[in-house]
């Protein structure tokens, strides 16, 4: 837990320093944000150099057992669009160049963290950046990028799609969504998002809520019907993945409920002078909450995965919502209470982090690389 808390502190501090730097210099006078660069490098190294955490061992084995890119491309079965072909092709490409899994992790970490941090920076007000990055870390999204590489790569790719959607470039949006789905199939649920590019809690949102509640009430029969449709379309999802008797943790349900609840209760304040960007982000947080509702019945991993795809809306819009609803005197109190609550959840959620997370040092990586090069040269000379 201590390591996790230190990481949270470093991320928040560097984000705050970046925020202050931008406030003092302004975007037009700022060529380099050194604190943002340090933050991004810190995240890349922390995630890329890991030896163990969550599913790390499975991704490591998968990488070490993967074939070279020419062999991958020669197998027709590898092009099944429902089997994450772009991820495995990318994995094989890197495997062709190096057998060291750490380089694969580092490349993935570069892509994920550069896109995620830059997206949050771009889509939050200057005064809210540190708070949004704190939320990004505290609710678990940041650590998810270490635990689930396929999903994290797809989520990072979808930040590009969100930028396209906000620019009303729909062809580009759906093209990027399609590419993200080739990395991780779940990303294709983003296809529905333009339908909810409206003010929060519009008729469409309420209709979606009613459908979600209906599915929740008739969970087993409804989900079985959906699985049959998915199977007919070519995407087979094992029933055991949904009906696994795993229900979403009540504390996480509470975290995901906060944004939809306050935006519904204070709808008139939220929708007053709201821009399209924050409308989209709040709608995303509501969709995320609806998947979490389904996860309270069963299939916590599957529906939790789906919910995470929309969580960037929560991260970017939450500080704005607080400022929109409450008076300037109350904002500090409410923000402080939120920080305490998020920190409490973070400490609970990462109580075993120190036991599970291990990492290499840069020195160890360099030594490993030198040994690998020596072995390769020896094999070459032997041939």
The whole-number pLDDT of residue 237 equals 67
267-270 contacts: CB < 8 A, separation 24 or more? 267/200, 267/201, 269/324, 269/325, 270/200, 270/321, 270/324, 270/325
Q: In the predicted model, what is the mean pLDDT of residues 65-75? A: 94
Residue 325 CA to residue 266 CA, distance in Å, equals: 7
30-37 contacts: CB < 8 A, separation 24 or more? 36/117, 36/121
Q: Judge whether 63 and 91 are in contact, CB under 8 Å.
A: yes
The whole-number pLDDT of residue 217 equals 87
Q: In the predicted model, what is the mean pLDDT of residues 73-89? A: 93
Query: What values do phi and psi take at 359, rounded to 5?
Result: -145, 160
The whole-number pLDDT of residue 260 equals 95
CA atoms within 13 A on the CB side of 193: 34
Q: Which domain holds residue 212?
A: 2-382
Query: What's the angle, vertex CA 324, arms to CA 319 and CA 325, rounded to 5?
Result: 105
Q: The tokens 């501090």 sit on which residue?
A: 13
Does residue 379 register a pLDDT over 60?
Answer: no
Stretch among 27-36, 241-250, 327-336 having the lowest mean pLDDT: 27-36
Q: β-pairing, 358-359 with 50-52? A: antiparallel
Stretch among 53-57, 109-113, 158-162, 233-237 having the lowest mean pLDDT: 233-237
Does residue 31 register a pLDDT over 90?
Answer: no
The whole-number pLDDT of residue 94 equals 96
The whole-number pLDDT of residue 28 equals 58
Q: In the predicted model, what is the mean pLDDT of residues 28-37? A: 79
The whole-number pLDDT of residue 367 equals 85
pLDDT in tens, 355-369: 899 988 888 888 888
Give the CA distances from residue 134 to residues 12, 71, 142, 350, in Å, rounded to whole numbers and listed in that order.
5, 43, 10, 15
More confident residue, 122 or 247: 122
Query: What values do phi and psi take at 266, rounded to 5?
Result: -115, 40
Answer positive or negative: Cα dihedral of 141, 145, 149, 150: positive
Does residue 243 register a pLDDT over 80?
Answer: no
Query: Average pLDDT over the chain, rounded to whole?
Result: 90
Give the CA distances from residue 146 to residues 74, 142, 151, 322, in Å, rounded to whole numbers and listed in that order.
30, 8, 10, 30
Q: How many separate domains does the chain show? A: 1
pLDDT band at 241 (very low <50, low <70, confident <90, very high): low
Q: What is the largest CA-CA distance in the chain?
A: 76
What is 300-341 written as a DSSP string? HHHHHHHHHTTHHHHHHHHHHHHHHHS-HHHHHHHHHHHHHH
Q: In the predicted model, what is the mean pLDDT of residues 264-284? A: 93
Q: In the predicted model, what is the mean pLDDT of residues 44-51? A: 93
Does residue 87 register a pLDDT over 80?
Answer: yes
> DSSP label at 353?
H
CA 202 to chain centre: 26
Q: In the predicted model, what is the mean pLDDT of residues 262-276? A: 92
The whole-number pLDDT of residue 153 equals 97
The shares of helix, strand and coil residues in the chain, as percent rounded to the nearest 5, are 80, 0, 20
pLDDT band at 220 (very low <50, low <70, confident <90, very high): confident
Q: The tokens 């399609």 sit on which residue?
A: 178
Q: In the predicted model, what is the mean pLDDT of residues 230-246? A: 70
Contacts of 370 (CB under 8 A, 6+ apart): none
The whole-number pLDDT of residue 235 equals 65
pLDDT in tens, 314-356: 999 999 999 999 988 899 999 999 999 999 999 999 999 988 9
Does residue 381 register a pLDDT over 60?
Answer: no
The whole-number pLDDT of residue 5 equals 93
* Percent of residues, the chain, with pLDDT higher than 90: 71
The whole-number pLDDT of residue 29 equals 56
Q: Judge whether 118 and 313 are in contact, CB under 8 Å.
A: no
Residue 282 CA to residue 360 CA, distance in Å, equals: 39
Does residue 373 register a pLDDT over 50?
Answer: yes
The whole-number pLDDT of residue 236 equals 64
């Amino acid at each position: 837990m201590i390591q996790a808390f230190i990481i949270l502190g470093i991320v928040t501090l560097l984000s705050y320093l970046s925020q202050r730097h931008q406030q003092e210099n302004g975007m037009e006078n700022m060529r380099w944000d050194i604190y943002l660069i340090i933050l991004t490098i810190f995240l890349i190294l922390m995630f890329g150099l890991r030896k163990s955490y969550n599913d790390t061992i499975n991704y490591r084995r998968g990488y070490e057992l993967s074939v070279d890119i020419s062999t991958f491309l020669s197998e027709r079965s590898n092009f099944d669009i429902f089997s994450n072909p772009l991820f495995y092709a990318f994995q094989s490409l890197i495997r062709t160049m190096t057998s060291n899994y750490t380089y694969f992790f580092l490349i993935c970490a570069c892509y994920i963290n550069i896109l995620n941090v830059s997206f949050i920076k771009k889509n939050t007000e200057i005064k809210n950046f540190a708070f949004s990055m704190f939320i990004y870390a505290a609710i678990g999204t940041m650590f998810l990028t270490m635990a689930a590489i396929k999903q994290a790569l797809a989520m990072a790719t979808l930040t590009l799609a969100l930028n396209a959607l906000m620019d009303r470039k729909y062809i580009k949006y759906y093209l990027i969504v399609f590419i993200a789905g080739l990395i991780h199939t779940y990303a294709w649920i983003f296809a529905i998002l333009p339908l909810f590019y409206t003010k929060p809690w519009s008729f469409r949102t309420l209709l979606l809520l009613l459908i979600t509640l209906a599915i929740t009430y008739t969970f087993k029969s409804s989900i079985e019907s959906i699985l049959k449709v998915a199977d007919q379309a070519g995407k087979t999802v094992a029933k055991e993945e949904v009906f696994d008797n795993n229900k979403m943790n009540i504390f996480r349900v509470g975290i995901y409920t906060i944004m939809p609840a306050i935006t519904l209760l204070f709808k008139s304040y939220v929708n007053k002078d709201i821009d399209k960007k924050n409308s989209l982000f709040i709608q995303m947080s509501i969709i995320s909450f609806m998947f979490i509702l389904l996860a309270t019945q069963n299939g916590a991993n599957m529906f939790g995965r789906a919910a995470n795809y929309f969580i960037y809306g929560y991260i970017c819009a939450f500080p704005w919502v607080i400022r929109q609803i409450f008076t300037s005197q109350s904002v500090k109190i409410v923000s402080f209470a939120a920080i305490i609550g998020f920190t409490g959840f973070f400490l609970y959620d990462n109580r075993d982090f120190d036991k599970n997370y291990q990492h290499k040092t840069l020195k160890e990586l360099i030594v490993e690389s030198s040994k690998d090069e020596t072995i390769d040269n020896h094999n070459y000379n032997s041939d």
